[in-house]
Homo-oligomer: A and B are copies of this chain.
Amino acid sequence: MTVKWMSVLLLLQMSCYFRSGSCGKVLVWPLEYSHWMNLKIILDELVQRGHEVTVLRPSSSVFFDQKRASGLKYETFPSSINNDKVEKFFGEWVNGWIYDVPKDSCWRYYPSFNTLFGKYSDYILNLCREVVSNKQFMTKLQEYKFDVVFSDAIGPCGELIAELLQVPFMYSLRYAGGYGLEKFSGGLSFPPSYVPIIMSKLSGRMSFMERVQNMICLFYFDFLFESFPAKDWDPFFSEILGRPTTMVDTMKKAEMWFIRSYWDLEFPRPTLPNIEFVGGLHCKPAKPLPEKMEAFAQSSGEHGIVVFSLGSMIRNTTQERANAIASALAQIPQKNDLLGHPKTKVFVTHGGANGIYESIHHGIPMVGIPMFAEQYDNIAHMVAKGAAVSVDFHTMTSSDLLNALKEVINNPSYKKNVMWLSTIHHDQPMKPLDRAVFWVEYVMRHKGAKHLKPLAFNLTWYQYYSLDVIGFLLACVAAMIFLTIKCCLFVYRFFVKKQKNKKE
């Protein structure tokens, strides 16, 4: 077959509309809240392109609401916990992270952090067991003949389901604490000299003492990561797959990773060919506001409006914190409305990655009030890039917030810097959503993307760091030195003996 015809066939194969009924089948193991909101953008686009997307949904799901479905299919598996319990669990869990984990330095996270992640791990593992040990349900999934499993790496199970169904899988991920998953399962390297470990609250160019702090954070998170999956997940994976294995070894088989950041939010660092940085793929141009809202926005005149949001997980905050915020917002002339409107002057945000990206997309400077997760790092990056001012949620008074708002509204450098980030964000060779969808379709077309996976995955850790080779070379050098000394001694003795004999 000639290459010309191959190209035509490839083209036909690429746009799955040409092969009605033979488009790809995607199985999704999602996470709730903001993770779901981001993942859904890719899924909707896949549906738009004619693929069949099936989302695994526990009967207790908070977000995977069938009513919101836009062409997505859902497969609901029976779950022991109900919706109220899930909301209660995550509410308490987030509150625990906001109020109970000391945030001044990462070595103080322990032990509250371990407790927190133990709870989360138990929750996900329980859900996962409910799927993979439900034989009837797994048989149903098997019959679908999926082409790819797509999941959020921070909530394990997708790779286990894929392994059981013998289907290639790929990940979306914002981050794992201390970049643990990215490092141990994804093979990425994070040189601690210039890459601040995530959840260290460090950013950009680090001073000597910050690099010391970063190194300590690295040790802490490596230690945490070593203890976290080994305890529960490795035995679970071994049990389900019926052979001694580890969670990390299964995760390593991922065809590709979509990391939900880019060099507008983060600082550049080493990457790998099977990693795509797709930060901000969920951002869309602002639609016109409803009439009443538009009138409200316009009534703000030259002062413009302030958009305030603390994300999808903050349902209740203490009365005192709420008063501080309300009091500060009451003292500025800007009105409080939707992001993306030309009148918007500033975005008051908790610093979740989705919100930060919307702000970058629309070019709106920020006042950050980070509360938990990597929100401190996100805001630290924005502060380092001159696009935000940070306020401490736990200690701020209404005047702290007011001053931060005034600074961002009145000092034009914040607007200038965030517009530069917006330019970086928009001026890419290809839109992040298009890149993500391209690679999902690629993996479906070719049953994987093996040519992008470094051969490092076949090595043990001591082979990876060349310790066996270095040991061997050192042994060779030692042997040579030893032999040289032996030879010298031999020659020396030979001549000494000769001289002695002569003397005698």
Q: Which residues of A contact B (CB under 8 A)?
A: 2-4, 6-7, 10, 14, 189, 191-194, 204-205, 208, 211-212, 215-216, 263-264, 267-274, 277, 285-286, 340, 342, 361-363, 419, 422-424, 426-427, 429-430, 434-435, 438-439, 442, 445-446, 451-456, 458-459, 463-466, 468-470, 472-473
Give Cα A270 to B442, complex, Å: 21
Q: Would you call B270 and A271 a contact (CB within 8 A)?
A: yes
Q: Would you call B191 and A456 a contact (CB within 8 A)?
A: yes
A363 contact from B6, B273, B424, B453, Cβ within 8 A:
B6
Q: Would you call B435 and A429 a contact (CB within 8 A)?
A: yes
A373 CB, min distance to chain B CBs, angstroms? 24
Q: Would you call A454 and B194 a contact (CB within 8 A)?
A: yes
Find chain B residues with CB under 8 A from A466 CB. 191-193, 211, 215
Per assembly, the copies of the chain total: 2
Find chain B residues with CB under 8 A from A452 CB. 263, 268
Q: Would you call B193 and A269 a contact (CB within 8 A)?
A: no
A267 CB, min distance to chain B CBs, angstroms? 6
A268 contact from B215, B273, B469, Cβ within 8 A:
B273
A265 CB, min distance to chain B CBs, angstroms? 10
Find chain B residues with CB under 8 A from A277 CB. 273
Give Cα A113 to B285, complex, Å: 58
Q: Would you call A212 and B473 a contact (CB within 8 A)?
A: yes
Q: Would you call A194 and B455 a contact (CB within 8 A)?
A: yes
Q: Would you call A427 and B456 a contact (CB within 8 A)?
A: no
A268-B264 contact given A212-B473, A342-B2, CB 8 Å threshold: no
A343 CB, min distance to chain B CBs, angstroms? 10
A195 CB, min distance to chain B CBs, angstroms? 8
A206 CB, min distance to chain B CBs, angstroms? 8
Q: Would you call A268 and B272 a contact (CB within 8 A)?
A: yes
Q: Would you call A271 and B273 a contact (CB within 8 A)?
A: yes
A459 contact from B193, B204, B453, B472, Cβ within 8 A:
B193
Q: Would you call A194 and B459 a contact (CB within 8 A)?
A: yes
A470 contact from B205, B215, B470, Cβ within 8 A:
B215
A193-B470 contact given A2-B342, A268-B454, A434-B429, CB 8 Å threshold: no
Q: Would you call A423 and B435 a contact (CB within 8 A)?
A: no
